[in-house]
Copies of this chain bind each other. A is one copy, B any other.
């Protein structure tokens, strides 16, 4: 029998992410994707049940890719400040080196397709980030805290900073540029907040 052409399905995936990011979910369509990826519309339905299935599968893949990048070199038993800083560096690096992926994630995470992606991400994050916080509490590095409050204080500021960079949009009228110096400054505020 004829084997699947991995280049074809990879092209479909990449073009889908690119189109959704650049033209918006509202202008994304199977016929357009087929044309952009250089395949027949019918080919896409060999790999995906329908349009929703395609978007959901790709969003989960991209979400997990981001999780993996964020947790690279991170271990739950690390000292608190060190472990958190690794997550900050990883996530910033991912967002800066993969702007299309990061923008795709933001759009999907705030669309009607959010559910499956968020489920996949939270399941993945739970594994390492949950124990990490529990350890930090047990070791007396930080006070007792729920996962949601921790996330909001420890990580939301970073995502906000990255978003300012993505937006090329600013309060002062001139473009905001992300830098390690600014990231470190913000990180220090967060550490001051959380450390006993």
The secondary-structure label for the interface of chain A is: helix
Is the pair B171, A152 in contact by a Cβ cutoff of 8 Å? no
Give CA–CA (A104, B111) in the complex, Å.
10
Please give the count of copies of this chain that the complex contains.
2
Q: Does A39 contact B (CB under 8 A)?
A: no
Give CA–CA (A146, B119) in the complex, Å.
35
Q: Does A148 contact B (CB under 8 A)?
A: yes
Residues of B within 8 A of A27 (CB): 112
List 18 other contacts, CB 8 Å, given A119-B169, A148-B176: A23-B112, A24-B25, A25-B111, A26-B28, A26-B111, A26-B112, A106-B110, A109-B110, A110-B110, A114-B167, A118-B167, A122-B169, A148-B182, A149-B185, A153-B190, A155-B160, A156-B156, A189-B193
